[in-house]
Amino acid sequence: MENKISQLRQEHGLTQQMLAERLSVSRQTIISLETGRYNPSIRLAWQISHLFGKTIEDVFIFQEDEKK
Amino acid sequence: MENKISQLRQEHGLTQQMLAERLSVSRQTIISLETGRYNPSIRLAWQISHLFGKTIEDVFIFQEDEKK
DNA sequence: ATAAAATGTCAAGCTGGCTTTACATATTGA
DNA sequence: TCAATATGTAAAGCCAGCTTGACATTTTAT
């Protein structure tokens, strides 16, 4: 799974810290998401996508053969 | 957050057990999802939605004011 | 050049998503 | 009616998502 968080964040002129605050998560969570280290909850994925006016599928990109 | 898993599962003629097996999760996980007890990972949400040929937003419905 | 801001890594800990097992209560069908 | 199948609850445990804090490196701006 890839995601466009870093790109969207920069397009919106936000730092990792600012994005973390808007989402009420830690900055480490943003770093880990941007560097693809995990598989967030759907609620967090929705909050991020929604903040940028996108759908979850716009922001998070899954591979066809993707398993757990 | 609501979801349409129970409805979609029944439309596709699947039992909870069968759906659990197709997704490689436990039946308890399906029950907990259907009864709204948790906030799955985005990967599981995607696997479920994709199995039914839907987008995540088709299956999981968020409220505008939804917080963590 | 140099200070400040932004990004990143590491590590320890908490929490809740998810598993497993066991049992109880519908629901279906012969 | 009786058994089989489907759904639900409860409880204990594991693990990865997420937090916190401290520090290192890179980027930006003066």
Residue A30, nucleotide of least CA–C1' distance? D18
Whether B26 contacts B20, CB under 8 Å: yes
Q: Report how many domains make up chain A.
A: 1
As averages over each run of 10 residues, the pLDDT of chain B (68 residues) reads: 94 96 96 92 95 96 73
A67 found inside a domain: no
Cα gap B37→B24, rounded to integer Å = 19
B53 found inside a domain: yes
CATH code where residue A31 lies: 1.10.260.40
The yes-or-no verdict on residue A49 having pLDDT over 80 is yes
Q: How high is the pLDDT of residue B67?
A: 56
pLDDT, one tens digit per residue, over A9-23 is 999 999 999 999 999
Closest CA relative to residue B42, chosen from B54, B56, B30, B32: B56
The yes-or-no verdict on residue A63 having pLDDT over 90 is no
The yes-or-no verdict on residue A68 having pLDDT over 50 is no
Please give the structure tokens belonging to residue B49.
């939605």
State chain B's maximal CA–CA distance in angstroms: 34
User: Average pLDDT of A22-35?
Assistant: 95
B67 found inside a domain: no
A27 found inside a domain: yes
B66 found inside a domain: no
| Domain span holding position B28 | 2-61
List strand D contacts in A 4-33 (CB < 7 A): 24-29, 32-33
Question: Contact B57/A57, CB-based, under 8 Å?
Answer: yes
Closest CA relative to residue B30, chosen from B38, B40, B20, B39: B20
A47 found inside a domain: yes
